[in-house]
Every structure is written in C-alpha cells, then in structure tokens.
C-alpha cells in the first residue's frame, strides 16, 4: 500500500471528516448516499474543497472553509438550523444546565469598572466577604479597569475548586482589599421573581427561560406561595425565548388534569413524532390562571401558552408571540461543535402550527414577514383576526376559536401606548442611567440606611424632592423635553410632573435593584406595568376558564405529588 504524503493527508483529512458527517449524525452513510444526486453533490463538494486548499495562490487554513461550508448548507434550510462552535456550545451548555463554576456575584460595568450589584446567597463571594458596591479593580493581580462585562466574566469563571484573587475598592476604605475566592458551582436561576401581589391572594411568577432546573425552581416557589395563601396566579413569560421543551411540558402538567394533550411534534422520521399528555396530581389544576406573553415569547414559552389556551385552562394576555414552532436537535461533531438541526415541527393541542412561514434559510425575508403584520396584530387585533383564513382557525376543547399562522394570539391584547411618557422614559433608559449616576453619589448613605432592610425600603422609601429635581435636570439634559415637532410627541416639565407618582415608582424600582439585586426590582416596577395592571382587570374571564376544571361533587380530591 502506497504511503500518503503528509501534505496530502493534511488537506484530505477534513474532506474525510466531511464524508463521515453522516456517521457522526447517527445516520447510515450508505443509505444516506443511496441517491445518485446526493452522492454526486458530495463528490462535487469534496472536489471544490481539495482544489481550493491545494491550488489557491496563498496557503489556506482548511478549518474555516469547512465551518463556512457547514453554515452555507444550513442557510438553505430554515432560519433556526444553525452551526455552533465548540466554544459557543460550552457557554450555552452552562446556561441551560442551570449552574457554572464561578464566584457568585451579579455585577455591572460603570465608568470602566465592574461594580458588585449583589452577591448570590450562599455563594463563595458572600462567604469570602464581598459586599454590594465593591469595585473590582484587579483579578489575579492584573488590572481589570476598562474590561468589558464579558472579559470580567471570563476571568472570574473557571473550574470548580480553583481559586481566583479579586482586588476591590470599597467605599470608606482608603486601601484596596484583596480576596481569594474558591470557585464553586453557582446556580443560574430561571425564575426571576415570585411573590404575592398587594391583595395577598394573587401570586406572580416570572420565568426568564426554560432550563433543566426550571421545573424544580417553579415548584419551590409555587408551593411557597400556596402556603402563603395564594388563590390565583399570574405567570409572566414575556421576553422568555424558550429553551428545553421538556421543562415547558413539566410546567404545563402542573396546571392540567390527567389525559390532556400538551404538545405534539411531527417530523420526517418516525422517531420525531412525539406526543405529550398531562398526568394526574398537578399542584395548580383548578385555580384561576393568567399568562403574560409578548413578541419575544418564543418556542417553549409558546408551548406553555398554546397548551393552556387550547385546553381552556388559562387566559393569555399581552401581545402575539414570536412564532417559533420548529424543534431542533443537537448533533455533536468531532471537535465539540454542534449542528442544531430542525428535525420536527411542534403543534398545539388543537392542531395549530404556530411557526411563522419562511422561505428556506432566508433570514432577512423571514423576519421581514414575521413583523410585517405586527402592527396590525398589536394595534388593530380585530381587523387582523378577521383577515386570517379559515384554514388557520382552530377550536379549543370547549369551542373557543384560536388562530395559527405565526405565534400565539392572546385572548386579551394589550397594545403599548406609543405616546406614553413612562414608555418613552423606559425606551431611552433614562430612569436606569439616572439612578445609576445618582446612586454612585449617594451610595454610602443609602447603604447605611437600607442594608438588609429590603422590605422596609419597599414599604417606606419615597423619592424626595432633591432626587426628583435631580431627575428632572437629567431628563432635560437628555432631551426629554424636546420641542422637536418631527417627533410623535414632545413632553413638557408639566407632563413629567403630572406623571410623578408612576415615574417615582420607576426610579424607586431601579434604586431597589442597585441596593438589593434584580429580584427586588419586579415587585416595584410591576406596580406601574400597564400589561400586568390590565391583566388583573380580567380575573372574571380567568375564573370562568378555571370553572371548567372544578371537580364534580362525586369526585374524590386528587392527591398532590
């Protein structure tokens, strides 16, 4: 047997790996290439690859060519089939596994310096003695000034059990302080907030994504709120991009009695055809339920909203969801990179395919089509629904009409008030940036007054005249009071003064975030959240849906899990 020259081997190996792609994906290669056209196309790809790598005028590194070839192939399929590098895959796995090796802090970069916003309870930074407000100036004796958030994160994260030295500046301390922190497994929570609203009987739970830990997190909070007297629940899935489908199915199961369809999938091969049905013993099967969604609620979030809507179990409130009804499986390649390949489509119990239509992998056209009728669905929902063809109209278990063709259409649409002063302040991020600057000037006195007093802060802190006037001055400098007639609406100081209660609550919410962490923000900002406040006006409809699930007198009550 002739020996293959090393130079030739160098260029041939990537092609061999490419030919072996079918095996890596668990296919039978001979079967996959049985078609004459398929085999001829693969040979053509191999010929082009070898010609480029061996004959191009300059030396060519083969790996980038292979990666771009893979991306180009996926671009011809659909907008959600993607190639993920090994490094990107590592970060994604950490995110959805629900934990990573780190030091346990939330931080933000302010004026080129990372400031600790909060330490995670029970984490290594809390144990070492770091405090909210500490400025990170060095990591392992190397300056951290000017680092981006990603750079700070990369240097703080590492294998569990390893150590990292962090040098900080603390208010009131003349000299920097050094801490040696042993990295540990840090939980990445998917439940942002869970608490009782002011009436004491309405629970609120917000989920930011669906990971492997989501169901357990949700159940812990649900049980706690039930013990506190919760009688009805608002489940907030706004801006939740989805994640692991099984986590969404488990969550829905807690709201439905046994035997109800939650979601089903259909694909090219039989293994992709799955159906998920609810089991008995859910912890919240009969109580009123409202689900909040918006245009950024996607994938697993839409499974939840669609299942609960089709089974007449919950009232859906907000805006039409994103419309991602494609199921991806991950196929790991030899270097740890991944093909995230669409293998099936998922359908809600009534048979709705909520995927937005697409043309191959044309992402630009896909998003253009996706948002082409967004304004109509948001601001003129009745006209939008009247134009939907009968083929995209379906019925819920009890005969309500629901709609396919791209996303879940809420039962109650809450359109944003485009002329709202509060919305304009939020769009420009004025409250956040002002509070961050104001907090930096008053941090010492605020921490002295409110440290470990989160409940007292929420109950008794008020934005005083000095802070209010400072905000007005900041808003003026940022152009909020512009008289530019080309804008949809200009605002005057009198407009701002008229909305002082709502704006003061928004400022207070951002201040709570600085003092106590993000979880403290939600109970305050929700007081002026127009979507939540509108949803709370429709409990009569949610109660009517819940009535379908009340046990008959002859039935024995089910046992909890």
Which residues are part of the catalytic machinery?
299, 310, 324
Using alpha carbons only, how large is the chain's radius of gyration in Å? 27
DSSP code, position 499: T
Asked if residues 322 and 406 have their Cβ atoms less than 8 Å apart, the reply is no
Asked if residues 318 and 414 have their Cβ atoms less than 8 Å apart, the reply is yes
Q: What are phi and psi of 512, to 5 degrees?
A: -60, -40
**Distance, CA of 382 to CA of 395 (rounded, Å):** 18
For the record, the structure tokens of 305 come out as 């909203």
Enumerate residues 6+ apart whose C-beta is below 8 A from 296: 238, 239, 240, 241, 322
Length, in residues, of the chain? 561
Pairing of strands 105-110, 113-119: antiparallel
Q: Where are the beta strands (DSSP E) in 120-239?
A: 135-139, 142-143, 163-169, 177-182, 184-187, 191-196, 202-207, 232-236
Q: Where are the beta strands (DSSP E) in 237-280?
A: 261-267, 274-277
**Distance, CA of 201 to CA of 230 (rounded, Å):** 4
**Distance, CA of 379 to CA of 291 (rounded, Å):** 20
């Amino acid at each position: 047997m002739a020996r293959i020259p090393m130079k030739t081997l160098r260029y041939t190996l990537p092609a061999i790996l490419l030919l072996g792609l079918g095996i890596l994906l668990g296919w039978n290669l001979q079967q996959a290439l049985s078609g004459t056209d398929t085999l001829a196309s693969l040979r053509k790809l191999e010929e082009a690859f070898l010609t480029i790598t061996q004959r191009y005028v300059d030396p060519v590194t083969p790996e980038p060519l292979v990666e771009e070839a893979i991306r180009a192939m996926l671009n011809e399929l659909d907008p959600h089939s993607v190639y993920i590098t090994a490094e990107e895959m590592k970060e994604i796995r950490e995110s959805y596994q629900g934990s990573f090796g780190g030091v346990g802090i939330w931080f933000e970069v302010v004026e080129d310096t990372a400031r600790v916003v909060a330490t995670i309870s029970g984490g290594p930074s809390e144990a070492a003695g770091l405090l909210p407000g500490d400025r990170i100036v060095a990591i392992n004796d190397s300056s951290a000034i000017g680092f981006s958030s990603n750079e700070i994160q990369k240097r703080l994260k590492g294998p569990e059990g390893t150590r990292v030295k962090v040098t900080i500046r603390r208010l009131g301390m003349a000299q920097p302080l050094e801490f040696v922190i042993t990295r540990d497994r840090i939980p990445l929570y998917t439940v942002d907030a869970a608490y009782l609203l002011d009436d004491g009987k309405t629970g609120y739970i917000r989920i930011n994504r669906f990971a492997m830990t989501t169901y357990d997190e949700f159940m812990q909070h649900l049980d706690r709120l039930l013990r506190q007297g919760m009688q009805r629940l608002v489940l907030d899935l706004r801006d939740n991009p989805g994640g692991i489908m099984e986590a969404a199915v488990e969550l829905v199961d807690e709201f439905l009695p046994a035997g109800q369809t939650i979601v089903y999938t259909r694909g090219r091969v039989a293994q992709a055809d799955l159906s998920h049905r609810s089991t008995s013993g859910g912890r919240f099967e009969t109580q009123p339920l409202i689900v909040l969604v918006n245009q950024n609620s996607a994938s697993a979030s839409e499974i939840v909203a669609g299942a609960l809507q089709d089974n007449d179990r919950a009232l859906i409130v907000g805006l039409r969801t994103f419309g991602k009804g494609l199921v991806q499986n991950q196929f790991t390649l030899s270097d740890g990179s991944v093909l995230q390949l669409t293998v099936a489509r998922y359908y809600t119990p009534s048979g709705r395919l909520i995927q937005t239509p697409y043309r191959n992998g044309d992402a630009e056209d896909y998003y253009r089509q996706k948002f082409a009728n967004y304004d109509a669905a948001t601001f003129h929902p009745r006209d939008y629904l009247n134009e939907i063809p009968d083929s995209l109209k379906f019925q819920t278990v009890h005969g309500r009409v629901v709609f396919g063709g791209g996303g879940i259409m809420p039962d109650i649409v809450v359109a944003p008030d485009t002329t709202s002063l509060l919305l304009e302040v939020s769009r420009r991020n004025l409250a956040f940036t002002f509070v961050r600057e104001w907090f930096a000037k008053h941090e010492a006195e605020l921490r002295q007054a409110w440290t470990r007093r989160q409940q007292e802060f929420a109950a008794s802190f008020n934005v005083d005249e000095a802070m209010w006037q400072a905000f007005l001055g900041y808003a003026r400098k940022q152009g909020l009071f512009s008289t530019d007639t080309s804008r949809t609406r200009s605002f005057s100081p009198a407009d701002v003064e008229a909305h002082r209660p709502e704006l003061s609550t928004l400022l207070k919410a951002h201040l709570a975030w600085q003092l106590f962490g993000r979880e403290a923000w939600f109970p305050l900002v929700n007081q002026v959240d127009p979507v939540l406040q509108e949803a709370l006006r429709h409990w009569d409809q949610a109660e009517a849906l819940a009535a379908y699930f009340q046990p008959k007198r002859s039935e024995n009550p089910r046992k909890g899990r």
